[in-house]
Amino acid sequence: MEKQLIINNSRVYFSGEKNILEVIRKHNIELPTFCYHSELSAYGSCRLCMVEVDGRGILPACSTPPENGMRIKTNNEEIREMRKIIVELLLANHDKDCTTCRKSETCQLQSLSRKLGVDTIRFKNVAKKEEKDLSTHALVRDPGKCVLCGDCVRFCEEIQSIGAIDFANRGPNSQVCPSFAKELDDSECVYCGQCARVCPTGAITPKSEVSYVWKALSDPKKKVVVAIAPAVRAAIGESFGIVGENGTESAGKIATALRSMGFDKVFDISFAADMTIVEEANEFVERLGNDKHMPQFTSCCPAWVKFVEQYYPDMIKNLSSCRSPQGMFGSIAKKIMPQALETPKEDLVVVAIMPCTAKKFEARRPELSKDGIQDIDYVLTTQEFARMIEESGLRFADLNPSAFDMPMGFKTGGGVIFGNSGGVTEAVLRNVIQAKDGIDETEEFSFVRGEDGVREAKVNVGGKELKIAIVYGLKNARKIVRDIKADKSRYDFVEVMACPGGCIGGAGQPVYKDISIRKARTKVLYENDKTLELHKPQDNPYVQKMYEQFLGKPGSREAHELLHSKHSNKKRLQEGPLTIYTPKNEKKLNINVCFGTSCMLKGSQKLLKQILDFVETKDFKDNVGIDASFCFEKCSKGPVVRIGEQTLEKCSIEAAELAIMEEIKKIQK
């Protein structure tokens, strides 16, 4: 029998929805929320989605499961007044610098204030001006605009398994921040920026480089070249109302807009994606031949690369040494464009327009520079590019399309689909199948496509069955890596993207909530692939010419110099211990809790809190100094704690308490 409930006097049928909020929204009623995302667990902190359920009173819709026969009211006088009070309280404790806020157009607090008719704030303004965290090249954290919804915390933990930020303190002092209130750059953030995507206000935003690009464009000495990533063409139209069920491909309009702004050359990162596949497939074939360092991990997602470097440094050898398409484009541009544009290398400015905030971090990796000159000077997100179009006064929807410049404007379908989860794998297969089997085909390897965060596939190449994994979301990646290390799973090739859906879901894209928007972007890239003349990256004639003129052959010494990179162990923070307690008395006991990555994963953060509680309960603070240290080099035996002269491996709170009591007795003698 089909289940039903009554919403505002209308009969509604439901099946499979996990809460009544989903049922209500399915029937075209948009309940307001701050803290609810279908991708995340229900949190229920904002209370904006409260509804009245007959016989049960006012309940949060996001955490109440639907039941047969429920009678629900979503909008009466009491509920409306509650929602207005909640928003007013948030505004009273909010930095209302709205006119210059980067999130102004998509700010949920502004939107709800307007929808709920909040025209006055009846509460005293208690907002404190707080310093912005500008420590990273990728993100800006503005604590004064945080509404404590927890969306960023949950995404970082539940989808990425990083936990770089969390709640701290209590009551009016509550805040969201990295551990010990450090700056974001001192945390284990991988700069994926998904915290910024789900943040409903301007508390976390991509760090803008627009002003630097305008300055370069205005400098008559500079020659400025630019390239756009595949995913940008599938999303930029959303910023200008060009949307549809199937999305909109806007590459031609993008090229016209960039030339109007004054860029000297307009290229396509998809060209470099073709080169990436040529190099990565060559590397994969070599690894298959000698069965060394398998499986091969893709290396085009900088957030994933940093994740491996800091959590699984023993697996760095499995990462492809190939640079990302952005990295390859930058090195090639800095090599060939000074001569082509008749300008000194130091006066050439290379700009990349990307869907991703982690690309800003990647551009400043020391490996992606030569003689002190960065290969990529500036990285703009799709959001920043949209802002530049608006600042230029261009009517984007009305622009006539134009072509990219050659040689780095020509691409194949294999380079374009890079923007989708599974696209790198499919492009590699298009290359490897031909290399190993000698079959010249343009088959779509649709079995690697899909929406699931973990997908597996098997394919026969050269008489050998290859097992492949396609993953997005770093929590999924962590499980895959653990299974590989434990020999529970065996793969030959593993593609990982940090962002849901791949680059098309990047944090630099126009903000979206409905997953159907992401699906439409995905479809755009696959449809674009179909309309192109060539589909296999190795068939790109301009890539072939690049090898003839500058690189020799795939995997050559010249290719390695320009198109490959090295990765390094970043498993611990690069500074000394963080002091938690400083003892007042001369006779003191020093306690050090290891906060290296392995110990963190084994519970050292929880253990530190338990030790702090024990020391405070026993009133030992005056005699105890407590530090969080990096690292005791006992990664397999964590959590590790040093109490006085004792080093406790696989330490429990019981063992720590006993050791503290023993050492305190020695001090007090």
| Domain 3-75 annotated CATH 3.10.20.740 | yes
User: CB of 70 within 8 A of CB of 52?
Assistant: no
| pLDDT at residue 170 in the model | 84
State which amino acid sits at residue 280. E
Q: Cα dist. 223→263, 316, 332, 403 in Å?
A: 8, 37, 15, 20
> Which secondary-structure segment (H or E) carries 60?
strand 57-60
**Catalytic residue list:** 280, 283, 300, 320, 359, 362, 367, 503
- Give CA–CA dist 330/200, Å, rounded: 34
Identify the pLDDT of residue 442. 52
Residues with Cβ within 8 Å of residue 496, at least 6 apart in sequence: 297, 298, 301, 304, 471, 472, 474, 477, 480
Q: How far apart are CA 448 and CA 433, in angstroms?
A: 15
- Cα separation of 578 and 259, whole Å? 50
Backbone angles phi, psi at 337, to 5 degrees: -75, -30
How far, in Å, CA of 386 to CA of 510, rounded? 9
Q: CA-to-CA distance for 108 and 354, rounded, in angstroms?
A: 24
Q: Which long-range contacts (CB under 8 A, 24 or more apart) does 393-398 make?
A: 394/257, 394/260, 396/236, 396/237, 396/239, 396/240, 396/242, 396/250, 396/253, 396/257, 397/237, 397/240, 397/241, 397/242, 397/253
* DSSP code for 156: I
Rounded CA-CA distance 378/210 in Å is 9
Provide the pLDDT for residue 574. 46
SS3 state at 205 = strand
Q: Where in the chain is the domain with CATH 3.40.30.10?
A: 578-668
The predicted pLDDT at position 243 comes to: 74
578-668: what fold? Glutaredoxin (3.40.30)
Strand partners, 334: none
* CATH number for region 210-563: 3.40.50.1780
Which ranges in the chain are annotated with CATH 3.40.50.1780?
210-563
Residues 6+ apart with CB under 8 A from 292: none
Dihedral in degrees, nearest 10, Cα atoms 353, 357, 358, 361: 80
Where in the chain is CATH 3.10.20.740?
A: 3-75
Give residue 443's pLDDT. Answer: 60
Dihedral sign from CA coordinates of 506, 508, 513, 518 = negative
In this structure, are residues 547 and 554 in contact, taking their beta carbons and an 8 Å threshold?
yes
The CATH number that domain 85-206 falls under is 3.30.70.20
DSSP H or E stretch at residue 339:
helix 325-340
CA–CA separation, 573 and 268 (whole Å): 36
The one-letter code for the residue type at 201 is: T
Mean pLDDT by runs of 10 across the 669 residues of the chain is 86 88 89 85 84 92 91 92 91 85 88 89 83 95 92 94 91 87 91 95 95 97 97 93 71 95 97 95 90 92 96 94 96 96 95 97 93 94 97 94 95 94 92 64 75 92 88 96 92 96 95 89 93 92 95 92 89 60 77 83 87 86 81 78 90 93 83
Share in percent of the chain as helix, strand, coil (round to 5): 45, 15, 40
Q: Please tell me the distance from the alpha carbon of residue 561 to that of residue 64, in angstroms, as a whole number.
A: 58
Q: Which two tokens stand for residue 589?
A: 């006991």
Query: How many other CB atoms sit within 10 Å of the CB of residue 569?
Result: 11
Is the preceding peptide bond at 631 cis, omega within 30 degrees of 0?
yes
Q: Phi then psi for 155, rounded to 5 degrees?
A: -65, -45
Stretch(es) of the chain classified as CATH 3.30.70.20: 85-206
Start-to-end CA span in the chain (Å): 76
Q: How far apart are CA 175 and CA 172, in angstroms?
A: 9
The encoded tokens of residue 187 equal 């945390």
**φ and ψ at 627, to 5 degrees?**
-125, 150
